[in-house]
A and B are shown apart, each in its own frame.
Chain A
Amino acid sequence: MTKMTVLEALNAAMAHELEHDPDVVLLGEDIGIAGGIFRTTQGLQNRFGKDRVIDTPLDEKGIAAHAVGMALYGMKPVVEIQFSGFIHDCIEQVMFCGAKYRWVLGGEYSVPMTIRAPSFGGIMGGIWHSHSPESYFAHGSGIKIIAPNTPQDAYSMLIAAIRDPDPVLVLEPVPLYRTLRGEVDVDLPVPEIGKAEIKRPGADVTALVYGPLTHKTVEVAESLSKEKNIDVEVIDLKSLIPFDIDTIISSVEKTGKLVIIHEASQTMGFGAEIAASVQSKAFGYLEAPIDRVCAPDVPHSYRVGDEFYIPNKDRIRAGIIKTMEAVY
């Protein structure tokens, strides 16, 4: 066991895969000498060379597109998009080429590429540095989407993504990169993509969350337990495509109440899909309307976005209390 920040865990995961699999290459803007603008890949080009850790032109679509071609040939490219606010230029290449090639080519080829997308708000980054792009990628087929938010998950789930035979989008928790440090056991088995984790067991209400907000939600749950005697079960979704329906349904059958929390804007956010699935599978267990605590349908403001756009602890708390009070 070693203590690492999220950033160090991601770096260690890439180093491990570069060392053990000659087909793994990293591509991105400024990832070589500097190690990327966040320093996630720091030291890797010196260690593995310029043919394995490749500085690319400033062309997000081009990076993703060339990675698709490399993956078709049999390599395992790991693409860094500098900020997920810049990822939308890649949507056609990732969603309508990379994620579709296995199917359109009759199952004869695969595209084992990983797209690392530094995501989420919390660094006073304004609209294009605070983005949650998951819904654009979830509304398609052929790509998996994961959102690790601890050093251990960052390490293990990035390795799982790199080894996966299909494209995987990794939503990396930018605000936790350097602020969260924790134990990483590099010998743990590589996890299956698609499993959620119960972060805090509880009996009264289920709070479903992913990304950096998971930590805030656990804090809210602890305070609600002490102050209002509300026992919140917090589930960290961890994987959006596919998502762990069994863990969610078991929890809702127990609590009868569900609050979904995410920092992407509300309309067509991923919470809508979860809510639709839960009502169709556990309608008889629901004691209150499913609530969503999300960002509003406005862009993320530089000055106040981190406080009022991303759900803060007040809003998460209010959503849970409202759901508790709404029992039929």
Chain B
Amino acid sequence: MSTQTDKKFTGNPREPVPVPLSRANELDIRQVLDSEGNVNGNISDPNLSEEEMRKFYEMMMLVRAIDDRGWKLQRSGRIAFWIPILGQEAVQVAVTCALDDHDWIFRAHRELAVWLLRGNSLEMMFAQFYGAEQEPLRGRRLPCLIGSRDINLISSTTQVGASLPHAVGAAWAAKLKGGKEKVLIFFGDGSASRGEFHSAMNFAGIHQPPVIMVCVNNGWAVTTPLDRQTAVDNFASKGDSYGVRNVRVDGNDPLALYTVTKDAHDNIEKYGPTLIEAVTFRLGYHTSSDNPDLYRHEQECELWRPWDPIRRTRLYMENKGWWDQSKEDALITLHQDEIQTAVTSAEAMDIPGPASQFDDVFAETNWMLEEQKARILSEVSEGSSDD
């Protein structure tokens, strides 16, 4: 995992700010675990079973291993782009596990775990990274933006935050049509500055649809820190302005995340919508096109390392006697093998041909598209001649 974070300071970053998770009570952040994995927080341990905790832990580990491999695939030129997850594994795993499988999830950019937790394959996930014709989005979206109707996972709009009202609208429609589904959306701290955040919160407050909005506050919107994103010290309280219930939670504490999300989900008829602010930290780059050396001091990452969600969860499980080094070693080997199989499978898949980009513009094509398609197909060979 060192590849994303071993860097020398080259820019002019601000002074590191203390980790808010170390002041959870003062900052009204729901927390179960301290930095050493002890149950020492301000809400009680949900006492998940060993099996459930292993599922959490193994999925966080798998996501970290995928992240590491994806980064290397991008750096070695095999895929065009990567969106790192390092440090944010807990939110996507614990939140997804608190929902029912029929609930809709609108993604932000980093939630790869949903795909696997809902039973889709690692092979097809890597197929998406490679832009294969066989994957559900047909190679149209950048690597990491996976989604599929069969698991009710909607790929993100790249205009961050633009899909917030889509989640509220879908939940509203479910309510009007008497559907059982609830809707959850992940979005980032930067997205909260967009007009759609206001629109979504405003409509959600008025119409009370079954929606949960999870602000994954990772401290940085590309290069912009929180104090340049908003003048207040948290995102949850913005819900008060709209009549939307809100809660802050330790975004690196899967037990607290699970508790808070499950409560919002199971009591949605009583609570209405909930805005959850999950306080976490992006240890890695924003994307493979980023360079944190220019704006962030490595010391800030060092402050967050004890709060790493995987470390804390492992300590918790070791304290319970559920985990040890031999299990850890076996898991790492297993994941490496599974990922290698998926990479090999994805590299053997087809890339989309030029005609497929004309599909799905409309339900039925029209003469304008057909004419453009016929011309392109008559003028190009399969594969670009510009290579």
Interface size classification for chain B: 35 or more
Per-residue CB proximity of B177-217 to A under 8 Å, as 1/0? 10100000000000000011011101100100000000000
Chain B residues, Cβ within 8 Å of A242: 366-368
Per-residue CB proximity of B118-139 to A under 8 Å, as 1/0? 0000000000000000011110
Q: Answer whether A66 and B203 are a contact pair too, CB < 8 Å, given A61-B195, A75-B177.
A: yes
Give A281's nearest chain B residue, CB to CB: B371
Q: Answer whether A142 and B362 are a contact pair too, CB < 8 Å, given A62-B165, A62-B202.
A: yes
Set B165, B179, B203: member contacting A68, Cβ < 8 A: B165
Within 8 A of B (CB), among A67-86: 67-75
Chain B residues, Cβ within 8 Å of A141: 361
B147 lies within 8 A of chain A by Cβ: yes
B236 CB to nearest A CB, Å = 21
A97-B176 in contact (CB<8A): no
Complex: how many Å from CA A109 to CA B147? 11
Give the contact stretch, choosing among B149-157, B224-232, B288-296: B149-157
B275 lies within 8 A of chain A by Cβ: no
A242 CB to nearest B CB, Å = 4
B196 CB to nearest A CB, Å = 6
Chain A residues, Cβ within 8 Å of B363: 102, 110, 165-166
Q: How many residues of A contact B (CB 8 A)?
A: 43
A92-B172 in contact (CB<8A): no
B203 CB to nearest A CB, Å = 5
Complex: how many Å from CA A143 to CA B138? 21
B137-A73 in contact (CB<8A): no
B176-A51 in contact (CB<8A): yes
A69-B177 in contact (CB<8A): no
B170-A103 in contact (CB<8A): no
Complex: how many Å from CA A92 to CA B173? 21
B240 CB to nearest A CB, Å = 17
B169-A67 in contact (CB<8A): yes
Complex: how many Å from CA A75 to CA B138? 25
Within 8 A of A (CB), among B347-361: 359-361
B170-A73 in contact (CB<8A): yes
Chain B residues, Cβ within 8 Å of A227: none
B260 lies within 8 A of chain A by Cβ: no
Within 8 A of B (CB), among A186-200: 194
Set B141, B165, B171: member contacting A65, Cβ < 8 A: B165
B78 CB to nearest A CB, Å = 22
A74-B138 in contact (CB<8A): no
Per-residue CB proximity of B307-342 to A under 8 Å, as 1/0? 000000000000000000000000000000000000
B29 lies within 8 A of chain A by Cβ: no
B137-A62 in contact (CB<8A): no
B5 lies within 8 A of chain A by Cβ: no
Per-residue CB proximity of A2-41 to B under 8 Å, as 1/0? 0000000000000000000011010000000000000000
B91 lies within 8 A of chain A by Cβ: no
A59 lies within 8 A of chain B by Cβ: yes
A245 lies within 8 A of chain B by Cβ: yes
A69-B360 in contact (CB<8A): no
B137-A104 in contact (CB<8A): yes
A sample of 9 cross-chain residue pairs with beta-carbon separation below 8 angstroms, ordered by A number, consists of: A65-B165, A70-B176, A72-B173, A73-B173, A73-B179, A74-B173, A96-B157, A104-B141, A108-B149
| Chain B residues proximal to chain A, CB less than 8 Å | 104, 135-138, 140-141, 147-149, 154-155, 157, 159, 162-174, 176-177, 179, 195-196, 198-200, 202-203, 206, 359-363, 366-368
**Besides the contacts A62-B196, A66-B168, A75-B176, what 8 more A-B pairs have beta carbons closer than 8 Å?**
A65-B166, A65-B196, A72-B169, A73-B104, A103-B360, A104-B155, A105-B155, A165-B362
